[in-house]
Amino acid sequence: MAEVEEVTEGCNLPVLRRNQENEDEWPLAEILSVKDISGRKLFYVHYIDFNKRLDEWVTHDRLDLKKIQFPKKEAKTPTKNGLPGSRPSSPERDVRKTLDLQPATPSSGKTLPIPVQITLRFNLSKEREAIPGSPDQPLSSSSCVQPNHRSTKRKVEVVSPATPIPAVSETTQASVFPQNGSARRAVAAQPGRKRKSNCLGTDEDSQDSSDGIPSAPRMTGSLVSDRSHDDIVTRMKNIECIELGRHRLKPWYFSPYPQELTALPVVYLCEFCLKYVKSLKCLQRHLMKCDLRHPPGNEIYRKGTISFFEIDGRKNKSYSQNLCLLAKCFLDHKTLYYDTDPFLFYVMTEYDSKGFHIVGYFSKEKESTEDYNVACILTLPPYQRRGYGKLLIEFSYELSKVEGKTGTPEKPLSDLGLLSYRSYWSQTILEILMNLKLENGERPQITINEISEITSIKKEDVISTLQYLNLINYYKVNSPFRGP
């Protein structure tokens, strides 16, 4: 049995925690950091295969030292001919180099897209119920969407449950929730200021010069953070508690607030300008000077006590930066390092006698080449599970309708974001299908394009939602022309 002093960073061992059913369990966890406070050791653990927001500091009595797994020492890279930095060659590598040097043989024929017939089935009694999503289902590229091919003509039939479905020889399945396949723009790297390219780590379309200094200002942006540059510091929560108005929030993830604030038990934020201060007395002095009672920008929507404000990231840079710092506490895979110029922020508020209190927000690029209508979206924890997330999503699509475009959120989505979007897409599409009426006594028909035009939901998201609901089948057709 190992001793407590032997537990170091990188060790894996079971840790006692209490689950949602108020039962004790011992999931495997990784030790990320160790600190000593007044002679008492504390261990920061990440529960493997669990969401990072569950990470926490624990004492040694919650560790199962009998099953500890010490980190493996990295083996030194073997050298070739005794020269440092070189690796021994392998037959496989030599063969791969030979194959890469061979010229590609041009294809003599052209591959034509296969016509696809789509049969749509649904059960009204079942689909009226809310359909929750699964946050752990991976995003994958849809095999039925081929951006480099000609668009195939699709036929969608709404079939009653009693209608028999014709037998076909082969059926091809579409994958669930397609991820965008095009590379996002990489961002200029500066010391102390980084922007991640995309979740796959591609660096196409970079505007960086060879020495790391940006050659031109970036006009577009992506808020997706790839995880390849994570270190121990960014994997750990650095803020203990945030006081925002009448709420105290416990952050879920790391946020790049100034380092002097990370040692404080509570960080105080002005709920109107989101300025952060280190003490309650500083906050009281600030409130005597702050004349804001609503987010800066234009109020573009109001109904009852709910209002939406549009904020330009270039004109209101200080507020936008403070909003991003707050949002980063609850968004793990998104990042924004003070570069707010290419973005618009839409902040949803609740009004009372004291002013307009922030509920949530979403951001979007001013000019998106990939039809993104949302870059980041967040409902603050005190307002979650009250329908505000779906309202934010619906508002983003209403803006797309005004622009006359179809839109999609920037991928990957967080687990809670995926649940919200699946719920919104499912409800919106099912309402359209259930409201279809008979025409001349024939079965109602609607196409994927028509659903996309009505809802402003991108076709890929419509297809993936229908597939997720098990309402769509794909059939291979031998000929583009069907017989009588």
The predicted pLDDT at position 202 comes to 32
Q: List, in order of start, the domains of the chain with CATH numbers.
A: 11-62 (2.30.30.140)
The predicted pLDDT at position 481 comes to 54
User: Which entry of 410, 431, 439, 450 is annotated as an active-site residue?
Assistant: 410
Distance from chain centroid for Cα 139 = 10
Q: Whose structure tokens read 């329908």?
A: 387
Distance from chain centroid for Cα 90 = 40
pTM flag (> 0.75)? no
Distances 260 to 75, 264, 446 between C-alpha atoms, Å:
38, 8, 59
Distances 99 to 84, 91, 220, 423 between C-alpha atoms, Å:
28, 12, 38, 48
The predicted pLDDT at position 240 comes to 92
The yes-or-no answer on residue 410 being catalytic is yes
Alpha carbon distance 328, 187 (integer Å): 19
In tens digits, the chain (484 residues) has pLDDT values of 778 888 889 999 999 998 888 889 999 999 999 988 888 899 999 999 898 889 999 998 999 988 899 988 765 555 555 454 444 444 444 444 444 444 444 444 444 444 444 444 444 444 444 444 444 443 333 333 333 344 333 444 433 333 333 333 333 333 333 333 333 333 333 333 333 333 333 333 333 333 333 333 344 445 555 444 456 778 899 999 999 999 999 999 999 999 999 989 999 999 999 999 999 999 999 999 999 999 999 999 999 999 999 999 999 999 999 999 999 999 887 665 568 999 999 999 999 999 999 999 999 999 988 889 999 999 999 999 999 999 999 999 999 999 999 999 998 888 888 889 999 999 999 999 999 888 777 888 899 999 999 999 999 999 999 999 998 877 776 655 555 4
DSSP letter string over 330-383? T-SSB---S--TTEEEEEEEEEETTEEEEEEEEEEESS-TT-EEESEEEE-GGG
